[in-house]
Amino acid sequence: MNGGYTDEGRVTAAEQIDDAINGPLWGSLSAVQNEQLYRTGAFWLANGVIEAHIVVDELITFLTDLEIDEVAPNPVSQKIGE
């Protein structure tokens, strides 16, 4: 997860992720080496229906060549992502 609920939290999380990626453990993972690491928002930690929709939308865009609007337009996540 990349971020938090504040700008400072997002910067701190991004720095920690960059440190981990460049470290020996994470740097040895094939997903990191193949640039298959996806940064997400803090809503991945939430447990509501809206957040669940956003997570599914992001998974579709991360794992396929599809745009989410082509598959399942979700006006709620579009407004949150703006």
Residues in Cβ contact with 57 at an 8 Å cutoff, skipping those fewer than 6 apart: 68, 72, 74, 77
Task: Write down the domain spans for the chain.
Answer: 1-39, 47-82
Tokens 């700008």 belong to which residue? 7
Tell me what pLDDT residue 2 has: 53
Classify residue 17 by burial, with Cβ atoms within 10 Å: 0-12, 13-18, 19+: middle
pTM above 0.75, yes or no: no
Classify residue 4 as left (phi > 0), alpha (psi -120 to 50) or beta: beta
Do 43 and 55 form a contact (C-beta atoms < 8 A)? yes
Tell me what pLDDT residue 63 has: 84
Tell me what pLDDT residue 51 has: 78
In this predicted structure, the answer to whether residue 8 has a pLDDT above a threshold of 80 is no
| pLDDT (tens digit per residue) in 22-74 | 999 988 999 889 988 887 776 677 677 877 778 888 888 888 888 777 776 66
Tell me what pLDDT residue 28 has: 92
